C-alpha cells in the first residue's frame, strides 16, 4: 500500500491509510496524509473499511494478510455480497502456484466454478494493471466512483 500512498501524494491526491496495530512489523508508511490515517485493532474491521470504499483491487506479492484480503474480496464477489469490480494480482511468477492449486484442486474437486477464476486478472507491469482497470470499466460502461 505504500506505493499507492506515495503515488497519491506525488499526484497531490488524497493518501489514506488503514493501519492495523500489531506487536511487530506493521507501522504506517510515511506517505499517508496524517489526518487520513485510521488505526484498527482487528483485521475484520479493517477489511470492511478497506473493501467498502474501493473501486478496484491491486494485490501485490505478500504474506498471509495479502492472501486473507485476496480470498475475502474474491469470496465477497463470488457470493454477490459485493459488487463485481476489477481485481489484479501483480507478478505472474509469484501467483502461478496459487492459480495452479485453485484449478488443480479447488476447481477439480468442485469447490469453485470455472467462472470464479475470472474474478481476477494477473499482470506483470504497472501499465498492464492500468490498462486492465481502464478496460474493465470501459467494457462494462460503468464509471468508478472516484
Give the start-to-end residue ranges of the domains of the chain: 1-53, 56-146
The answer to whether residues 124 and 96 touch, using CB atoms and an 8 Å cutoff, is: no
Of 90, 101, 102, nearest to 60 (Cα)?
90
- CATH numeric code, 56-146: 3.40.50.450
Distance CA 42, CA 19 (A): 10
- Model confidence, pTM: 0.81
Task: Look at 84 and 23; give whichever has higher pLDDT.
Answer: 84
Average pLDDT value over all residues in the chain: 87
Strands (E), the chain: 17-20, 37-40, 57-59, 87-90, 121-123
Other residues' Cβ atoms within 10 Å of the Cβ of residue 73: 21
What pLDDT, on a 0 to 100 scale, did the predictor assign at position 144? 55
Q: Which of 42-46, 66-70, 101-105 has the lowest mean pLDDT?
A: 42-46
C-alpha cell at 143: 464509471
Reported confidence tier of residue 98, pLDDT bands at 50, 70, 90? very high
Mean pLDDT of 100-105: 98
Task: Look at 47 and 87; give whichever has higher pLDDT.
Answer: 87
Amino acid at each position: 500500500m505504500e506505493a499507492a500512498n506515495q503515488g497519491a501524494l506525488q499526484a497531490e491526491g488524497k493518501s489514506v491509510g488503514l493501519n492495523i496495530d500489531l506487536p511487530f512489523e506493521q507501522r504506517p508508511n510515511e506517505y499517508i496524509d496524517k489526518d487520513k490515517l485510521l488505526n484498527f485493532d482487528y483485521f475484520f474491521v479493517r477489511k470492511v473499511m478497506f473493501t467498502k470504499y474501493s473501486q478496484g483491487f491491486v494485490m501485490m506479492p505478500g504474506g498471509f494478510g495479502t492472501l486473507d484480503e485476496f480470498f475475502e474480496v474474491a469470496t465477497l464477489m463470488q457470493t454477490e455480497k459485493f459488487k463485481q469490480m476489477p481485481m489484479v494480482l501483480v507478478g505472474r511468477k509469484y501467483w502461478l502456484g496459487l492459480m495452479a492449486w485453485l484449478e488443480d484442486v479447488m476447481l477439480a474437486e468442485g469447490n469453485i466454478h470455472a467462472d470464479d477464476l475470472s474474478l481476477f486478472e494477473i499482470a506483470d507491469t504497472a501499465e498492464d494493471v492500468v490498462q486492465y482497470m481502464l478496460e474493465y470499466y470501459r467494457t462494462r460502461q460503468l464509471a468508478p466512483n472516484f
